[in-house]
Amino acid sequence: MILIADEDVPRSVTEYLLNRGHEVKLRFRSAGRPSLRCSQARAQMRLAQVIDLIEFEYTRRQALQDKRLIVDVKDSNIVFQG
């Protein structure tokens, strides 16, 4: 299998999978993650409503040590984590 491991995957788990012959990609360990927690029919509309806030927060976080942007876009609100 080819797997992607993010920052929440312990090194011991990554090593275990590697030892079993799996390919584990770590290049996304510092990537952000948007979660669209609304209906698929509303997803693009909700993203359009909040994209300015997401882009602003992304820019702000680039000055921090932990640059990851994790955001939950819901039907009635938006939540930034971290």
Task: Break the chain down into helix, strand, coil percent, rounded to 5.
Answer: 40, 25, 40
Q: What is the pLDDT of residue 29?
A: 67
Domain chopping of the chain, boundaries: 1-31, 32-82
Q: What is the pLDDT of residue 79?
A: 96
Write out pLDDT tens, residues 1-41: 988 887 778 889 999 999 999 999 887 767 788 889 998 89
List CB contacts of 32: < 8 A, sequence separation 6 or more: 58, 68, 69, 70, 71
Q: What is the pLDDT of residue 49?
A: 96
pLDDT of 76 strictly over 90? yes
